[in-house]
């Protein structure tokens, strides 16, 4: 960090072109060789530069409107990232600013990486000069490291993750003499997080909130927590935003430096900003106002404090906010609008539950008067059917800015959105698997397909099924690399070495591996540290030299202290990867796992190796630790062709040719808890989530609902999601079969099978929204209002929300479904046709696998779950054997991995199947 040339002086580029001389030719000398090169890419005055070619008029406007506040409402698949990156390229190549004068913030590291990469493609290495492109938090750290002392910290403060925070809070709660069962540390950590999301410090939280925890001692506890962080020279994630906000408010000179520095501000995913982020942006974006407009001052202050029970702080100071502070204004009539460009989509705001305020984007024009609002509605991703379905669904929300996506490439051949019904989640998984295989047979790549679920527990049935049929899949967003125990332990060792004062890390590993240091000893170290006002590591060293301890712990402690002293002495002389290895070896940590008999020990050792390997990219141990604190994700291996399984939340921003959306049932989607806690706005957020799901698909979209789902171990009958009823008939095709229905491909299980008398969806249950047209789907009569046999009799019962459809509450199908309910519950496979026998066969094999499936955990590889052989026994087959498979016919074995065979089928192509499914020919 220290060597970073962008890090030191603030005003090193003050000669840079100003935005008010925007159209002036680039300075002779050019900002740098790199930027100059970027400029050289610019063409003559009349021809648009290359990078503008291929933009549609709206996109181009969004790129070229560089001055003043701009809100780009970018619908799904409208080229949002392209606009952002091109805009940066445009600013650079027009010489409007140096790379270091652009502040570009994203939410996730992934988004930041992508933006950096794509800007790099446009402007070359100039992107390397963009030190202020990053996440809110990474930029926050950068700011805070520079001004740490203004927040009572040293610049080498550590960043605590959630785990550290919870442990710390637990200590505090216990120190207060409170019961940590009644007052769960986790809950309080969440409360603090919530307050920090709103920009509230201990003195600013609402009285009610303060009282709600720990017998009314919430505020004290919060304050104690902050004090403790300061003592530890540490901060949590929220502080990475809050401290800079405080600093900006209290040190106008500092803020003014950044005002002068940042000529352009760009914000990605603006709809996801929380109040703290909003304040942070406002502070940076809002230039001092002319003293001549006192009224707008007041208004502005009000807005500044919005969200705000933090009036106390505001009123306790002479000036309500730095935005109003009469700073020198470069001697010119400075506009008070900065060149801020926020890009977002109110319809994709799905993070309200963690503090995002959709309101920020809805109020943009009020916050930034005179803002240009540009709508990107031309969608390059999805078919007209998908867009039509999504548009109709999202139109049920109120309080939108309003956008309608359209495509100018409608194709009559495009498939409609498919809605399928299944009996239960197993059948759903089976049928989705069938459909995937059908697509695969049609030469669709698994990489182009994704299953997007509402809740992660839904993943299980798909994983189970895909393992059974040997279908490759990967789970995105599973347990994260840096959150694993072994990684966190190793990191704790490193942290103590790099920063001896890191008590939380020290505590984590004093007794790892076990060396007989129990609670009592640790408490003693704690007390000594407190008494002497030194870090625990130091206290431990002192204690080991004293007679305070019994011989055993004393010796152990002495060794620990000596170890750390030795490692710390190596810090500057030994390459950090080597040192890391030494630490893990000498501490006995690797041995601990080597001696561990449990099944996951080898994997953990593997992870540790991976950890060391990943350190190589970083200059120093310290740089690496910082990276990990901020970037908790690790890359996934993309090489394998596999279906992606992930939650709807983690799918935002992605796209797939073919998308499966299972679990569209009331209670699951929309999720009951979202409804309970969020009421109407909760429902609207769920609907936006549905919208996000639909708009991930480029071409093929399959929605599923089941009539029975096991929730917390209990089978519950469910009713179709109201969202299904909010889809427009014109774009939807209902697949009555329940099994796979993929044009042209026979469903091996027989499409009609599902409908054979087992259609009793919610029949026995009152649907609070009135009956759904899907209620009777799957019944023998196939009664679906949207399929030509309109239920005229029910036409009068339009629903308030999804009222575009008649319901089928009184249909024969519904009645029959009701009748069949009991029978259906018994799950009578025997009624199935010949094809179903095959499935029974599967079932038998399934149970056969039950025993062998114990090592199922073994499929976790670097955060990626991969369908993998689960049996230890080698297959009875050998490569080259000719075999027969019920479904795929004859083929030759091309590879064997345990009992998983890769077979080149004569007709069906290459498949991976388990050996139980084939017979030798």
Q: Give the pair of three-digit tokens for residue 901.
A: 């065979």
Helix (H, G, I), strand (E, B) or coil at 71: strand
| Distance in Å, CB of 85 to DNA, minimum | 18
Instruction: Give the residue ranges of DSSP H helices in 662-715.
Output: 672-694
Residue 444 backbone dihedrals phi, psi, to 5 degrees: -85, 140
Kindly list the distances between the CA atom of residue 376 and the CA atoms of 84, 107, 408, 581, 761, in Å, as whole numbers in the listed order: 12, 21, 13, 51, 40
Is position 224 annotated in a ligand binding site? no
Kindly list the distances between the CA atom of residue 422 and the CA atoms of 432, 693, 696, 845, in Å, as whole numbers in the listed order: 10, 20, 23, 22
| Distance in Å, CB of 323 to DNA, minimum | 25
Beta strand spans in 336-491 (E): 339-344, 372-376, 417-424, 449-453, 473-475
Torsion of CA 734, 738, 739, 745, to 10 degrees: -20
**Residue 268 annotated as catalytic:** yes
| Distance in Å, CB of 518 to DNA, minimum | 3
Residue count (the chain): 921
| Distance in Å, CB of 592 to DNA, minimum | 10
Contacts with 650 (C-beta within 8 Å, 6 or more apart), sequence order = 476, 477
Pairing of strands 882-885, 918-920: antiparallel
Q: Give the pair of three-digit tokens for residue 99.
A: 């790379």
- If the CB atoms of residues 240 and 893 are measured against DNA, the closer one turns out to be 240
Is position 76 annotated in a ligand binding site? yes
Catalytic pick among 13, 161, 239, 269: 269
| Distance in Å, CB of 65 to DNA, minimum | 28
Is position 78 annotated in a ligand binding site? yes
Catalytic pick among 268, 346, 367, 424: 268
Helix (H, G, I), strand (E, B) or coil at 185: helix
For 44, left (φ over 0), alpha (ψ -120 to 50), or beta?
A: beta
DSSP for 211-261, please give it.
HTTGGGTHHHHHHHHHHHHHHTTEE-HHHHHHHHHHHHHH-HHHHHHHHHH
Q: Which of 421, 515, 524, 528 is nearest to 753 (CA)?
A: 421
**Residue 357 annotated as catalytic:** no
Asked if 902 contacts 911 with a C-beta cutoff of 8 angstroms, the reply is yes
Q: Which of 399, 409, 343 is nearest to 376 (CA)?
A: 343
227 CB neighbour count, 10 Å cutoff = 13
Is position 830 annotated in a ligand binding site? no
Helix (H, G, I), strand (E, B) or coil at 837: helix
- If the CB atoms of residues 37 and 113 are measured against DNA, the closer one turns out to be 113
**Residue 269 annotated as catalytic:** yes
DSSP category for residue 338 = -
Catalytic pick among 116, 508, 622, 696: 696
Catalytic pick among 80, 306, 474, 839: 80
Distance CA 758, CA 764 (A): 13
| Distance in Å, CB of 215 to DNA, minimum | 18
Residue 404 backbone dihedrals phi, psi, to 5 degrees: -130, 115
**Residue 348 annotated as catalytic:** yes
- If the CB atoms of residues 439 and 624 are measured against DNA, the closer one turns out to be 624
- If the CB atoms of residues 650 and 797 are measured against DNA, the closer one turns out to be 650
Contacts with 21 (C-beta within 8 Å, 6 or more apart), sequence order = none
- If the CB atoms of residues 70 and 867 are measured against DNA, the closer one turns out to be 867
Asked if 93 contacts 123 with a C-beta cutoff of 8 angstroms, the reply is yes
Kindly list the distances between the CA atom of residue 521 and the CA atoms of 262, 306, 516, 561, in Å, as whole numbers in the listed order: 52, 49, 9, 14
Is position 81 annotated in a ligand binding site? yes
| Distance in Å, CB of 171 to DNA, minimum | 12
Is position 74 annotated in a ligand binding site? yes
Q: Which of 835, 740, 839, 751 is nearest to 438 (CA)?
A: 740
- If the CB atoms of residues 63 and 487 are measured against DNA, the closer one turns out to be 487
| Distance in Å, CB of 107 to DNA, minimum | 6
Q: Which residue has the tokens 């900003």?
A: 273
Burial degree of 328 (CB within 10 A; 0-12, 13-18, 19+): exposed
Q: Give the pair of three-digit tokens for residue 727.
A: 């889809």
Distance CA 521, CA 512 (A): 14
**Residue 15 annotated as catalytic:** no
- If the CB atoms of residues 610 and 633 are measured against DNA, the closer one turns out to be 633
- If the CB atoms of residues 282 and 671 are measured against DNA, the closer one turns out to be 671
Q: Which residue has the tokens 């499409």?
A: 751
| Distance in Å, CB of 409 to DNA, minimum | 31
Is the C-alpha dihedral spanning 146, 634, 380, 382 positive or negative? negative
Asked if 856 contacts 845 with a C-beta cutoff of 8 angstroms, the reply is no
DSSP for 868-889, please give it.
----SSPPS--TT-EEEETTTE
Residues near DNA (CB under 7 A): 107-110, 135-138, 162, 181, 193, 237, 352-354, 454-457, 477, 480, 511, 514, 516-519, 630-633, 646-647, 649-650, 671, 673-674, 677-678, 682, 685-686, 710, 712-713
- If the CB atoms of residues 256 and 452 are measured against DNA, the closer one turns out to be 452
Alpha carbons within 13 A on the beta-carbon side of 851: 5
| Distance in Å, CB of 158 to DNA, minimum | 14
- If the CB atoms of residues 455 and 612 are measured against DNA, the closer one turns out to be 455
- If the CB atoms of residues 63 and 159 are measured against DNA, the closer one turns out to be 159
| Distance in Å, CB of 436 to DNA, minimum | 21
Catalytic pick among 61, 65, 81, 372: 81
Is position 256 annotated in a ligand binding site? no
| Distance in Å, CB of 352 to DNA, minimum | 7
- If the CB atoms of residues 377 and 665 are measured against DNA, the closer one turns out to be 665
Which residues does the annotation place in the binding site? 74-81
Binding positions for ATP: 74-81
The catalytic residues are: 80-81, 268-269, 348, 696
């Amino acid at each position: 960090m220290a060597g970073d040339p962008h890090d030191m002086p603030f005003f090193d580029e003050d000669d840079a072109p100003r935005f008010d001389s925007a159209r002036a030719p680039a300075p002779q000398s050019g900002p740098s060789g790199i930027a100059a090169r970027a400029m050289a890419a610019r063409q003559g005055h009349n021809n648009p530069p290359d990078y503008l070619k291929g933009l549609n008029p709206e996109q181009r406007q969004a790129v070229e409107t560089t001055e003043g506040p701009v809100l780009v409402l970018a619908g799904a698949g409208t080229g949002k990232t392209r606009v952002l990156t091109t805009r940066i390229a445009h600013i650079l190549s027009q010489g409007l600013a140096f790379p270091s004068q652009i502040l570009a913030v994203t939410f996730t590291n992934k988004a930041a990486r992508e933006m950096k990469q794509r800007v790099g493609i446009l402007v070359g290495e100039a992107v390397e000069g963009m030190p202020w492109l990053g996440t809110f938090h990474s930029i926050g750290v950068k700011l805070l490291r520079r001004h740490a002392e203004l927040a009572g910290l040293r610049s080498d403060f550590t960043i605590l993750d959630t785990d550290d925070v919870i442990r710390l809070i637990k200590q505090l709660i216990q120190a207060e003499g409170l019961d940590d069962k009644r007052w769960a540390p986790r809950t309080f950590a969440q409360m603090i997080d919530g307050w920090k999301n709103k920009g509230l410090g201990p003195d600013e939280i609402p009285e009610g909130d303060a009282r709600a925890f720990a017998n009314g001692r919430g505020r004290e506890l919060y304050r104690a927590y902050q004090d403790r962080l300061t003592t530890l020279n540490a901060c949590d994630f929220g502080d990475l935003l809050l401290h800079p906000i405080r600093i900006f408010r209290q040190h106008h000179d500092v803020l003014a430096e950044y005002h002068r520095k940042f000529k352009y501000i760009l914000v990605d995913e603006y709809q996801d900003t929380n109040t703290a982020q909003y304040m942070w942006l406002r502070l940076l974006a809002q230039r001092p106002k002319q003293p001549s407009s006192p009224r707008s001052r007041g208004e502005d202050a009000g807005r500044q404090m919005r969200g705000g029970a933090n009036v106390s702080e505001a009123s306790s100071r002479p000036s309500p906010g730095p935005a109003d502070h009469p700073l020198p204004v470069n001697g010119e009539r400075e506009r008070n609008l900065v060149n801020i460009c926020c890009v977002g989509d109110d319809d994709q705001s799905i993070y309200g539950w963690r503090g995002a305020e959709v309101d920020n984007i809805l109020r943009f024009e009020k916050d930034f008067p005179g803002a240009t609002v540009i709508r990107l509605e031309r969608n390059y991703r999805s078919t007209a059917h998908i867009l039509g379905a999504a548009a109709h669904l999202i139109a049920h929300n109120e309080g939108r800015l309003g956008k309608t996506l359209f495509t100018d490439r409608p194709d009559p051949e495009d498939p409609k959105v498919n809605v399928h019904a299944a009996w239960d989640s197993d059948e759903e998984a089976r049928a989705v698997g069938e459909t995937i295989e059908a697509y695969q047979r049609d030469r669709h790549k698994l990489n182009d397909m994704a299953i997007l679920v509402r809740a992660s527990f839904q993943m299980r049935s798909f994983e189970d099924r895909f393992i059974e049929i040997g279908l490759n899949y990967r789970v995105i967003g599973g347990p994260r690399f840096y959150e694993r125990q072994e990684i966190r332990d190793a990191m704790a060792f490193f942290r103590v070495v790099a920063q001896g004062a890191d008590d939380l890390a020290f505590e984590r590993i004093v007794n790892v591996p076990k060396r007989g240091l129990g609670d009592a000893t640790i408490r003693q170290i704690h007390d000594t540290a407190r008494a002497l006002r030194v870090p625990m590591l130091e206290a431990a060293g002192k204690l080991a030299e004293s007679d305070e301890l019994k011989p055993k712990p004393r010796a152990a402690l002495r060794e620990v202290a000596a170890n750390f002293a030795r490692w710390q002495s190596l810090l500057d002389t030994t390459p950090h990867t080597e040192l890391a290895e030494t630490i893990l070896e000498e501490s006995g940590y690797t041995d601990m796992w080597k001696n561990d008999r449990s099944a996951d020990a080898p994997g953990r050792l593997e992870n540790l190796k991976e950890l060391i390997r990943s350190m190589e990219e970083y200059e120093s141990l310290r740089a690496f630790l910082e990276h990990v604190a901020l970037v908790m994700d690790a890359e996934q291996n993309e090489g394998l062709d596999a279906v992606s399984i992930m939650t709807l939340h983690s799918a935002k921003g992605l796209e797939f040719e073919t998308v499966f959306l299972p679990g569209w049932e009331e209670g699951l989607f929309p999720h009951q808890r979202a409804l309970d806690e969020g009421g109407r706005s909760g429902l609207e957020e769920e609907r936006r989530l549905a919208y996000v799901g639909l708009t991930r698909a480029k071409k093929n979209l399959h929605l599923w609902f089941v009539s029975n789902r096991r929730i917390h171990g209990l089978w519950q009958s469910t009713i179709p999601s109201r969202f299904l009823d909010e889809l427009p008939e014109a774009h939807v095709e209902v697949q009555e079969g329940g099994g796979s229905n993929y044009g042209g491909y026979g469903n091996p299980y027989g499409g009609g099978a599902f409908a054979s008398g087992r259609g009793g969806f919610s029949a026995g249950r009152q649907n609070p929204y009135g009956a759904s047209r899907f209620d009777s789907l799957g019944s023998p009569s196939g009664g679906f209002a949207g399929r030509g046999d309109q239920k005229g009799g029910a036409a009068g019962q339009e629903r308030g929300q999804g009222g575009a459809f008649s319901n089928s509450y009184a249909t024969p199908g519904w009645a029959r479904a009701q009748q069949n309910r009991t029978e259906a519950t018994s799950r009578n496979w025997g009624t199935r046709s010949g094809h179903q026998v095959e499935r029974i066969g599967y079932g038998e094999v399934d149970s056969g696998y039950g025993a062998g499936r114990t090592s199922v955990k073994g499929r976790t590889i670097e955060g990626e779950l991969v369908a993998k052989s689960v049996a230890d026994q080698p297959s009875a087959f050998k490569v080259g054997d000719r075999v027969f498979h019920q479904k795929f016919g004859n083929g030759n074995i091309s590879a064997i991995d345990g009992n998983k065979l890769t077979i080149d089928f004569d007709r069906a192509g290459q498949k991976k199947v388990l050996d139980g499914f084939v017979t030798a020919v």
